[in-house]
Amino acid sequence: MDDFAGVNVYQNGVLVTTFARTSSDTGATDQDVFQNPPPGYYDWSISAVDNETPQNESEVTASIPTPLSLPLAENFAVAGEPNPGVWINANTEVNDRASNPPSDGLALNLNGTPGGGDTLTMRPIDLSGLPDATFEYAYQPQGTGNAPEEGDSLLVYFKNDANEWILVQGYPGTTVQPFQVETIELATAPSGNGSYFHSQFQARFRSIGGAGNFPNDDWFVDDVRMTSTLVGIDDPIANAPSTFEVSDNYPNPFNPSTTIRYQLPERSDVKLFIYNMLGQKVRTLVNTEENLGFYTVEWNGLNDTGQQVASGVYIMRFEAAGLSNGQGFSRSSKMILLK
């Protein structure tokens, strides 16, 4: 590129800064510093621009999410959906059906309901320069529920920098046994054609079980931890947000769905409602207590009865109140649904 002029940086698809460059930078290793927005979970992408008038821009790269960082500790202390600030969930839930879980009386349950194998995937985590990183978890078959047969396995995968999911551990189904603790040293785990020590490492739990309308082929996971001696002690709140924040929905305008991200500095009573311009509530997205952390919620344009709402302007109303000291936060913003 003999007319290279700069690099655009996008956050959640919105241009946030441009780093000016020259044609002599083409092919060079380059770096710069961007002052981060409030702590949260964002998607990032870049493009190149030239110095012509009008300016030309390359295609935007695939987005890369903000990685989590070590140490990470997850005790699954809240029933229901696993923390979406840490996990990408497909049919798992946190409940009290395990037998003597190691903490809080709750554990993650993978049980084949409704479509068979369930998965829980950790959001990307930055392991760059951490060769002694370890992944630890406790697991149990059956609990107080249904015993998985031998072929109804619990599987653990890691994702390397070649974008490959590598099976690193598997357990055949058995009847109930006490929780067993497994510690995997990433440096000695099978890593396929790549390395685990990169900024987008992920881990995944997956069960192989029969589909059903009731819990069956139960597996339970608890006390998941990723640590490294290079980043200090295993402190589960080391990466916790320090303030309440909620983002504007993105995209906006949207069709058919839009995403809202928020963060909580402590366990809080959280409400996230959608209103029409007449002040009538059309959808409850969140109305519960949640632990401190980062969260992502999607609105698909449906109301509380499952019907598609009309095109137009809607109001997102977010309220959070800390349970320890009553500290509160609220914010409203407009969102536009187009069809």
Total domains, the chain = 3
CB proximity list for 231: less than 8 A, separation 6 or greater? 69, 70, 71, 130
pTM of the entire predicted model: 0.62
CB proximity list for 23: less than 8 A, separation 6 or greater? 1, 2, 3, 4
User: Do both 58 and 81 map to the same domain?
Assistant: no
Q: Please check whether residue 214 lies inside any domain of the structure.
A: yes
Residue ranges making up the domain that contains 78: 72-231
Can you tell me the distance from the alpha carbon of 290 to that of 335, in angstroms, rounded to the nearest whole number?
24
Can you tell me the distance from the alpha carbon of 249 to that of 254, in angstroms, rounded to the nearest whole number?
9
User: Do both 184 and 303 map to the same domain?
Assistant: no
Closest residue by Cα to residue 263 from 290, 236, 228: 290
For 229-287, what is each residue's pLDDT tens digit? 887 544 444 456 778 888 888 888 988 888 888 888 888 899 999 999 999 999 999 99
User: Do both 84 and 216 map to the same domain?
Assistant: yes
- The number of CA neighbours under 13 Å toward the Cβ of 337 is 22
User: Do both 208 and 256 map to the same domain?
Assistant: no
User: Do both 183 and 85 map to the same domain?
Assistant: yes
For 199-229, what is each residue's pLDDT tens digit? 899 999 999 987 777 778 999 999 999 988 8
User: Do both 276 and 319 map to the same domain?
Assistant: yes
Answer for the pair 126, 69: CB distance below 8 angstroms, yes or no.
Answer: yes
